[in-house]
């Protein structure tokens, strides 16, 4: 079973700044099978990044994903109000298709 650990737990930033979120896996994840989701309170999650670095449809280029093996990063530039939410990474290559515990991005 692949366990995903996200850091930090909470990140406090101001609109216009950049955010760097980390996702570390307990064993190697094929980069083809690492995704990032954003969940705004009261809403369902939304796909941002798949295959570690490919943006989903209609996701602006302020969002970028990188990494391989066991270390992955989501970078969000020029933070906008709707970006303050909870972010989850997920590996979808091997059952169980675990999620990380989430990083909460809050307004400073």
39, 46 contact by CB (below 8 A): yes
User: Measured from the CB of residue 16, what is the shortest distance to another protein in angstroms?
Assistant: 28
Q: Is residue 25 within 8 Å of 3, Cβ to Cβ?
A: yes
| Dmax (CA) of the chain | 38
Element (H, E) at 57: none
| Residues shown for the chain | 108
Query: Smallest distance from the beta carbon of 42 to another protein, in angstroms?
Result: 10
Least CB distance from residue 55 to another protein, whole Å?
12
Tell me whether residue 73 or residue 99 sits nearer to another protein (CB atom): 99
Which tokens is 50 given? 């798949």
Taking the least distance from each CB to another protein, the nearer of 78 and 94 is: 94
Q: How far is the CB of 15 from another protein (least distance, A)?
A: 25
Binding site residues, another protein, CB under 8 A:
33, 35, 37, 39, 43-47, 50-51, 56, 86, 88, 90, 92-93, 95-102
Contact between residue 86 and residue 101 where contact means Cβ atoms under 8 Å apart:
no
Smaller CB separation from another protein, 35 or 76: 35
């Amino acid at each position: 079973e692949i366990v995903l650990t996200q850091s930090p737990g909470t990140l406090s930033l101001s609109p216009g700044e950049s955010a760097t979120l980390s996702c570390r896996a307990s064993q190697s994840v094929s980069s083809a099978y690492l995704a990032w989701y954003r969940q705004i309170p009261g809403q369902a999650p939304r796909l941002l990044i798949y295959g570690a670095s490919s943006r989903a449809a209609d996701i602006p280029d302020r969002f970028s994903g990188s990494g391989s093996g066991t270390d992955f990063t989501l970078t969000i530039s020029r933070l906008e109000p709707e970006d303050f939410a909870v972010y989850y990474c997920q590996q979808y290559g091997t059952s169980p298709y675990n999620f990380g515990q989430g990083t909460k991005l809050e307004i400073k």
